[in-house]
Structure formats: C-alpha cells, structure tokens
Chains A and B, each alone.
Chain A
Amino acid sequence: MTALATPEKTRARGVAPTAGLRRPRRYGRALLYVALLLGAIPTILPFVWLVRSALMTDTQMFVAPPEWIPDPFQWSNFGEALTAQPFGLYLLNTVIIAVVCVIGTVFTCSVAAFSFARLRWKGRNVVFALLLTGVMLPYAVTIIPTFVMWQELGAIDTFVPLTVPAWFAGAGGGVFNVFLLRQFFLTIPFELDEAAYIDGASPWRVYWTVVMPLSRPAIVVVTIFTFIGTWNDFLGPLLYLQDESKYTLSLGLASFQSVFITQWGYLMAASAAVIAPIVALFFFLQRYFIEGVTLTGIKN
C-alpha cells in the first residue's frame, strides 16, 4: 500500500521541502479523501435507506421530500415481519444446511487437496487438471439433469440435493476450494511428512496431525466462503424445496416479498434481519475475508 507514497517522499526530501512544494501535496491529500467520500456515500446510502425504512411507519415513509430519521422508531416492524412468517424456522434450516455443507466441503476438499499436493500416484496431475475444468463450467448446463436425477431418487423437497454435493468436494464450482487448499498445502515443508512416515505414520495421520493444523488460515477461508455461498444461495432452495417448513432464509424472504409486496417497513425489516448475521460475521472475521478474496484473485 506504500508503494506509491514512498518514492514521492524520498523525492520530496531530496528537493528540500519548501512551502510551495508542500501545499499542492496537502491539497492532493484532501482531494484524495474527498474522492473517497464521494465513493463511500453512494455505497453506504442504500444501507441507510434500508435501516431508516425498516424503522418507519408507512405514513412517514410516504412523504415527499423524504425524511431520514424515523419518528417514532417503529421497532415493531421487526417483530411483526419476523413473526408473519416463521423466520426462526428458516434460520434454523439455513444454519443446518450451511453447517452440513461447510463440514462436507472442508473435509472432502482438504482430503483431495492433500492427495493432489503431497501424495504421488499415477495420473494425479491429469486428474487434477480435469477437475479444474469444472470451475469454468456454467452452472446452467448441469441444473436440469441434476434436477431430474434428484427427482428420480425421490429427493425433492429434502435437504439432500442441497447438502450431498458438498460431500463430494463441493462438486462443480466447489472444486476451486481444492485448488486453493492445494496451493496452500504446497507451501508446507515436505520434510515434515517424511519424518512422520519414517515414524510409521499413515498418510491419513500426516494429513490430520501435520498438514491440517498448519493450514488453519486456508481452512478458515474455505469455511467462510462456503458458509456465505450456502447462506446466500437462492436457486438451489428454489428448485428443491417446496414445503414452507423447509424454506431457507433466502427462499423465505422471497416468499415474504411476494406476500407483503408493498409493505415496505416489513420488507426492509425482514431484509435487514437476513443481512445482519452475515455482516456481523464479517466484522468478526474481517481479516480472513479480505485474505480469502485476495487469495482467489492472486492465485490465478
């Protein structure tokens, strides 16, 4: 981040800092923050709009020019919206699906990544290259046959189609996790494995006691992104879940929206409630988020 600033600094020092040279630099700094603010305001505004609408009465919402501070604060919007449909149940369903997917993805992807990174077997590299082609595949090509398959297996309206693929290394786009973990595993010294093998350890033991404990950052990244991906998934639940008692938060919010189509206070309250957990998670794990996104970009 200092890449740009440093050369300028050294130059300024060499030229002798006169007042004339300093002032434009200060203007430059001010300009920089003005530009950032100009970008930040439209980014934040929709959130402000969301929160203020979630806390307003309908009468206050429909005035022109718009008011920004709710008066009174209509906290009951949250209570009424979240009890109008069983959002607690949706939350539970979402958490169940997300947790099962995270465990499955982390386990099967890390095991495969271990095999591709640290075990030698014939055809390994070819198989790995083949798997990677799955990352670029448009999901639309596979949804119809996959749907038909689950229908034949009688798995419609269960969590099976939403969770089982995760236990096969995420399937499809999830292969990216294998790639990410493999890259990370390759950075761990191979001498550790050798030492363990000499002590008579099995590859499983090396995976579990040597490689995994050293790979926590990569595991956290895969966990976060799988969790978010499952939490936010809409098409999957839309295709496979029918009974309202099995809805996820996303699907629940969509059906809520179609019922309370113009009840903006309720709609915003429900949306805010669906967004809040993810945002909270982000604030706790911020470093890993940014690291994770960065990792996905750089490794390509």
Chain B
Amino acid sequence: MRRFEARWGVLMALPAILGFVIFTVGPMIASFFFSLTDWQVGGQPSFVGLDNYTALADDALFWKSLSATTYYTLGAVPLTLLVSFAVAMLLNQKVRGLALWRTIFYLPTLVPAIANVVLWIWIFNPDFGLLNSLLRQAGLPTSQWVYSEEMAVPSLIIMSTWGFGNTMVIFLAGLQGVPRHLYEAVSIDGGGPWRRFWHVTLPMMTPTIFYNLVVGVVGTFQVFTQAYVMTEGGPNQATLFYVYYIFRKAFTESEMGYASALAWVLFMIIMVVTFLMFRNARRWVYYEMAGAR
C-alpha cells in the first residue's frame, strides 16, 4: 500500500532476521558441516564423511546417555504433569487465599538452576540430609539418593518435579477458561463431580495438556545443569544426560566434530519425537475452535 511502510517494515524486522540467520540458521548449518569432520580444538578439521555418525552406533556412552535421558524424561514429564494438574484442579475450586497458595506452589520455579542443585545436594545428603533425616525419624528405610546408581535418576526426577509451578499455572489458566455452561449441562443431566471431570474438564483441557507435554519433553530432554554440577554424569554414568555428554565431548575432550554429530542426532530425535506427538495428538486432543483458527 504505502511504500514507506514496506521500507520501515523490513528495517524494523531486520534485527530479528539477522539474529535468526547469525545465531540459528548459520550455526545449524555449520554444526552439520562440523559433524562431518574430525576436529580437535586447535587443529585443522579434516573431512571424514559420515564416520562420526557410524562411530556413534558403537559408542556405549552414546547409548547410555540416550537411555539415561529417556528414563529421566519418561519419569519427570508424566510426574510433573500429574502433580501440576492435580494441584491446579484443587486451586480451581473456590479456594480461600488463592494468591497465597499459588505463590507457594510457584516459588520453587524461581530458584536459579545452580542454587537449586546446591540445595538439593544437601537435601539428598545420605547422613544429615533432609530426606534421610525424615525417613529415619519415621522409621523407614533410607536411600543413597544421587549417590547410588539405581536411585540417581529417580532422585533427579523428584528434584525436577519440585519445580512444577510453571506447568501448574498454565493448567490453572486452562481450567479457568473451561466454559461454565458445559458444567451446568452435565449437572442438569444429573451428572456428579466425576462425570463433570471426565466429560467436560478432561476433554476441554487436552490442548493445554498437549502443550505442557510437548514443552516438557523438549525441555527435559535437554537437561544439563544437574548432571554437570551435581553428579558429573555418575555414579557409573547413570546420569550421563545427553546434553551433558555433548558438553563433555566438545568442551572437555575438545572433539568438536564428534560432539556436533551428537548434537545433530539430538536435533533429529527431538524433531521426530515432536512430529510423532503432533501426529498422535489428532487422536486425543480436542480443539473446539478448530474451524475458527
């Protein structure tokens, strides 16, 4: 329409476009080329084709990190979804002091990752930590938590579930958006709370559940700080999470080529998993406004 509009439009979008090219597209392409080389930091990269990728198949640590990360994701995501949905349901009743309750449940998400880790190392302390102290007082068996190979990942799952506040707030917003007349319709038909939950709340909440699921999976699959500061991947590689393994290959062992191949495999895994989740969503996610979108 107006010529100046187009000129200004491009100019104002320019930082975002440049940022996308410099910090996203460029590095992605570069990363792919790195992954085709054998490259120690300081040396010259030499082209090796797909060798890094074939080497992955024989790399026990690669498989270990993949299974550790999957284990963590399969534990942390459903547990967080369940806890945050349950608490959101409770808060969605006519609760007195809603703001206070919401604050309490939201607070843990504010703790910086590193402070979180330092705090939980102490909580997991087998001798004088919070968890074992309480268990001992209750006469229950104690655990070595992050210090034992079996319990390390479950411990980190517990720790991550503590930060369910973000997910909960999103659920709460979703619950408050469920149209009241639907509940009234169920009540008129003589349906009780269970019916209301099963036939109204749950179907209406599926888009929110789906959103939290996707964000949760993509996020937890890239867990890093806990492994780096808390466990250093141990004990016995039990918490060798994928991104931590990439970090170690790239910045400790300075094998940039191999690490880039690892990163690209992660990228493809996340793409495939996301794609599958979206495809599967058609079966269970209910979009009332599908036509309106």
Assuming the contacts A169-B16, A254-B229, asked whether A141 and B176 have C-beta atoms less than 8 A apart, the reply is no
- Roughly how many angstroms separate A114 CA and B196 CA in the complex, as a whole number? 42
Contacts of A112 in B (CB 8 A): 12-13, 15-16
A140 contacts B263, C-beta separation under 8 Å: yes
Contacts of B170 in A (CB 8 A): 293-294, 296-298
Residue of B nearest to A177 (CB): B16
A6 contacts B264, C-beta separation under 8 Å: no
B133 contacts A134, C-beta separation under 8 Å: no
Contacts of A138 in B (CB 8 A): 218, 221-222, 263, 266-267, 270
CB distance from B82 to the nearest CB of A (A): 12
Instruction: Say yes or no for B206: interface residue by CB 8 A criterion.
Output: no
Instruction: Say yes or no for B26: interface residue by CB 8 A criterion.
Output: yes
Contacts of A259 in B (CB 8 A): none
Residue of A nearest to B108 (CB): A43
B90 contacts A175, C-beta separation under 8 Å: no
- Roughly how many angstroms separate A257 CA and B91 CA in the complex, as a whole number? 37
Assuming the contacts A145-B30, A267-B122, asked whether A168 and B212 have C-beta atoms less than 8 A apart, the reply is no
- Roughly how many angstroms separate A33 CA and B255 CA in the complex, as a whole number? 55
In B242-286, the 8 Å CB interface with A consists of: 242-243, 246-247, 250-251, 256, 259-260, 263-264, 266-267, 270, 274
A202 contacts B8, C-beta separation under 8 Å: yes
Instruction: Say yes or no for A70: interface residue by CB 8 A criterion.
Output: no
CB distance from A113 to the nearest CB of B (A): 9
Contacts of A2 in B (CB 8 A): 94, 180
Contacts of B99 in A (CB 8 A): 286
Instruction: Say yes or no for B60: interface residue by CB 8 A criterion.
Output: no
Contacts of A6 in B (CB 8 A): 180, 183-184
Instruction: Say yes or no for A264: interface residue by CB 8 A criterion.
Output: yes
Instruction: Say yes or no for A190: interface residue by CB 8 A criterion.
Output: no
Segment with Cβ contacts to A, from B51-59, B71-79, B113-121, B145-153: B113-121
Contacts of B222 in A (CB 8 A): 138-140
Contacts of A169 in B (CB 8 A): 15-16, 19-20
Contacts of B183 in A (CB 8 A): 3-4, 6-7
Residue of A nearest to B6 (CB): A121
Residue of A nearest to B164 (CB): A43
**Which residue of B27, B105, B112 contacts A149 across the interface (Cβ within 8 Å)?**
B27
- Roughly how many angstroms separate A47 CA and B109 CA in the complex, as a whole number? 12
Contacts of B128 in A (CB 8 A): 61-62, 64, 66, 264
Residue of A nearest to B173 (CB): A294
**Which residue of B26, B136, B186 contacts A145 across the interface (Cβ within 8 Å)?**
B26
A4 contacts B31, C-beta separation under 8 Å: no
Residue of B nearest to A274 (CB): B115
B12 contacts A203, C-beta separation under 8 Å: yes
CB distance from B142 to the nearest CB of A (A): 11
In B21-64, the 8 Å CB interface with A consists of: 22-24, 26-28, 30-31, 34
B122 contacts A53, C-beta separation under 8 Å: yes
- Roughly how many angstroms separate A134 CA and B123 CA in the complex, as a whole number? 37
Instruction: Say yes or no for B141: interface residue by CB 8 A criterion.
Output: no
B115 contacts A271, C-beta separation under 8 Å: yes
A298 contacts B24, C-beta separation under 8 Å: no
A268 contacts B122, C-beta separation under 8 Å: yes
CB distance from B107 to the nearest CB of A (A): 7
22 interchain pairs, CB-CB under 8 A: A1-B91, A1-B175, A3-B92, A3-B175, A4-B92, A4-B93, A8-B187, A39-B87, A43-B108, A46-B130, A62-B127, A115-B13, A124-B9, A137-B28, A138-B267, A141-B28, A145-B30, A175-B16, A203-B12, A267-B122, A274-B115, A279-B110
Q: Footprint of A on B, CB under 8 Å?
A: 1-2, 4-6, 8-13, 15-20, 22-24, 26-28, 30-31, 34, 83, 86-87, 90-95, 98-99, 101-108, 110-115, 117-123, 125, 127-128, 130, 133, 136-137, 162, 166, 169-170, 172-180, 183-184, 186-187, 196, 208, 211-212, 218, 221-222, 224-225, 228-229, 242-243, 246-247, 250-251, 256, 259-260, 263-264, 266-267, 270, 274
